[in-house]
Structure 1
Amino acid sequence: MPRMTDAPGRWSQATVHPDMWTDPDDDPRDSEGAGPDGELATLRGFLADYRMTLRMKCEGLDAEQLARRSVPPSTMSLLGLVRHLAEVERDWRNWIVDGAPLPKLYGARDADFDGVVAEQSAVDAAYDDLEREQAATDAALAAHPDLGERVGKDGIAVRALMVHRIEEYARHCGHADLLRERVDGRVGQ
């Protein structure tokens, strides 16, 4: 006898490969053709693709769905991930520039997840924060195109900062996969 569950059914909008998020011709991440030349361009390309993947995983959802927590005791939600990545972009910028660190965007530790509310104004603010912090960190790193250059008070290599940013987005895109499937059953790359 089948079990009753409140979990949504698995589905995808893709028709070419049903385990993908979207069909290859519709995937905005694959618009450049062959990969970029050079290490810096490659790193920037991977970062841009993971940033877009996070947005794709959130698109089409309302404020309540974006703010919906995964499973107790976790406070993780898609909106929390957007807020968290805005926060970590700011943290990375603090590693790049000299001087006093910028304050946390959302306050105390874990407030990026704990402070999520299901309101459209909170969603809009989180996306505004993410775009602003991404642009500011990108600008700070653009001043240091040599991947071997060491920056900030701790002398961290630009390459390490770039790779860490990619790792952070990639890891959280994995979380976004599971969170989105929990919200409406949509699966895929």
Structure 2
Amino acid sequence: MNEQVPERWTKAGVHPDMWVDPDDDPRESAGPSPDGELATFQDFLTNYRLTLRMKCDGLSPEQLATRSVPPSTMSLLGLLRHLAEVERDWRNWIAPGEPAPKLYGDPDGDFEGVRPEQSAVDGAIADLEREQAATDAEFAKHPDLAARIGSTQEPARSLWVHRIEEYARHCGHADFLRERLDGRTGQ
């Protein structure tokens, strides 16, 4: 196998194990972490969402659609689509009424249907942003973290933690995918 391996690199100059320098990191905030459990959950979720987007920044549609290693269907573009689908699923779990249909079909349409085209990238980002906003709005109706919500009557706290866990896990995948594409490393 004569695969070209990219050289590892980072944009950070202050801390070479970071993605960017602290002054350029949109996840960094001046001051202490937020007070309260809900504010902490929201802060972690926001930062993981930003991390995923940062791992995708600056790549071509072809790079974003590049799969990890066979037989995996995982790609950065697939992760964007997958997380849009997951956001919709969470909203379906807690919102009353009929569940919204799958965005990309079953099974694994979020990964299998990836195309290396700018319109597919733009569509995935728009889908993710729309689904995040809609799910955030639904969660905002349930500020009591101990309240049991949705059809499964899970505590809101549990669903928040699951959302954070889902993004954290996939940001780990994104780290490896990005490094494989162009060698860029960092948190």
Q: How many residues align?
A: 187
Structure 1 gaps of 5+ residues are none
Within a 5 Å distance, the mapping from 1:62-101 to structure 2 comes to 62-101=60-99
Q: Is 1:168 aligned with 2:166? A: yes
For the residue of structure 1 that corresponds to 2:27, the secondary structure is helix
* C-alpha separation in 2, matches of 1:135 and 1:7: 38
Select the residue among 11, 14, 20 that pairs with 1:13: 11
**Residue 97 of structure 1: how far off its partner (Å):** 1.1
Residue in 1 that maps onto 2:115 = 117
TM-score when normalising by structure 1 = 0.96
**Residue 31 of structure 1: how far off its partner (Å):** 2.1
* C-alpha separation in 1, matches of 2:53 and 2:159: 22
Within a 5 Å distance, the mapping from 1:16-165 to structure 2 comes to 16-165=14-163
**Residue 41 of structure 1: how far off its partner (Å):** 0.1
* C-alpha separation in 2, matches of 1:16 and 1:110: 40
* C-alpha separation in 1, matches of 2:30 and 2:96: 35
Structure 1 runs (4+) deviating above 6 angstroms are none
* C-alpha separation in 2, matches of 1:65 and 1:183: 7
Structure 2 gaps of 5+ residues are none
1:84-118: per-residue Cα shift (whole Å, max 9, x none)?
00000000001111222111000112110000000
Q: What amino acid is aligned across from residue 109 of structure 1 in structure 2?
A: P
1:47-101: per-residue Cα shift (whole Å, max 9, x none)?
0000000000000001001001111111100000000000000000011112221
**Residue 4 of structure 1: how far off its partner (Å):** 6.7
**Residue 6 of structure 1: how far off its partner (Å):** 0.5
